[in-house]
């Protein structure tokens, strides 16, 4: 099974059309993605996630499929019941942390300040989402990382498909990066340009590999 430690990059995606969701998931998997975050950001989020989980189990061995934008425990429980592999939150919420711990599901809270990172650590998080990444920047992580030697970090928001952006984040000490609209662009999705999407994913992995 894949892990955040090994994946390098996590696509972050939502679409109302479940067929678009399935196509994007399949394309990402074929391009080498092994950790994928679907987001709880639309009216069809729950039913589309359920379809994607079934699709994953049938066709994509080794893939971790999790849910993001979870802000409260009741939402977490809904997706835990749908066999989510992990929960990503834009905030630090103790009840969500407790629910994930109770069901042995990885919880990745979103943090913007050292205080929030410390709170997440106290609630049992070992892996933290830096959000929004475009506001915080690699310099923020480089400054706080020595304060939290036991934690791993993933920035989401503002990570670009470029050697400069990815190098800066990985040299600052991230475990992996979350990539949404900068990778899964509106144009690529609307045009159904799967070759372009595969190319962008391949290039992203190549840039990350160059840092190592």
pLDDT digits over 157-209, tens only? 889 999 999 999 999 999 999 999 999 998 889 898 999 999 999 999 999 99
pTM value is 0.96
* Closest among 24, 45, 68, 71 to 192, alpha carbons compared: 24
**Which pLDDT belongs to residue 2?**
62
Average pLDDT of the residues in 103-113: 98
Phi, psi angle pair for 72, to nearest 5°: -150, 160
Q: How many CB atoms lie within 10 A of CB 151?
A: 18
Q: Read off the pLDDT band of 96 (50, 70, 90).
A: very high
Indicate the domain borders of the chain.
4-203
Mean of all residue pLDDT scores within the chain: 96
Q: Report which secondary-structure segment, H or E, holds 10.
A: strand 9-13
Range in 30-34, 45-49, 158-162 the model is least confident about: 158-162
Are 87 and 76 in contact by the 8 Å Cβ rule? The answer is yes
* Rounded Cα gap, residues 3 and 35, in angstroms: 7
CATH class of 4-203: alpha beta
CA distance 54 to 135: 36
Look at residue 158 in the predicted model and tell me its pLDDT: 80
């Amino acid at each position: 099974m894949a892990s955040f430690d090994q994946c390098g990059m996590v696509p972050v995606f939502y679409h109302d059309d479940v067929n678009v969701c399935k196509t994007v998931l399949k394309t990402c998997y074929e391009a080498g993605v092994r950790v994928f975050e679907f987001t709880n950001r639309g009216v069809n989020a729950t039913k589309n996630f359920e379809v994607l989980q079934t699709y994953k189990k049938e066709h994509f061995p080794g893939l971790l499929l999790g849910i993001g934008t979870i802000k409260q425990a009741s939402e977490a429980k809904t997706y835990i019941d749908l066999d989510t592999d992990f929960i990503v939150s834009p905030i630090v919420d103790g009840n969500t942390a407790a629910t994930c711990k109770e069901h042995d599901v990885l919880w990745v809270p979103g943090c913007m300040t050292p205080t929030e990172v410390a709170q997440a650590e106290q609630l049992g998080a070992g892996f933290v989402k830096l959000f929004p990444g475009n506001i915080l920047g690699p310099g923020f992580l480089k400054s706080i990382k020595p304060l939290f030697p036991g934690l791993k970090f993933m920035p989401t928001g503002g990570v670009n498909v470029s050697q400069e952006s990815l190098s800066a984040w990985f040299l600052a000490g991230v475990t992996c990066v979350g990539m949404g609209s900068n990778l899964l662009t509106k144009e690529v999705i609307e045009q159904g340009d799967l070759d372009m999407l595969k190319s962008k994913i391949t290039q992203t992995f190549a840039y990350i590999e160059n840092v190592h």
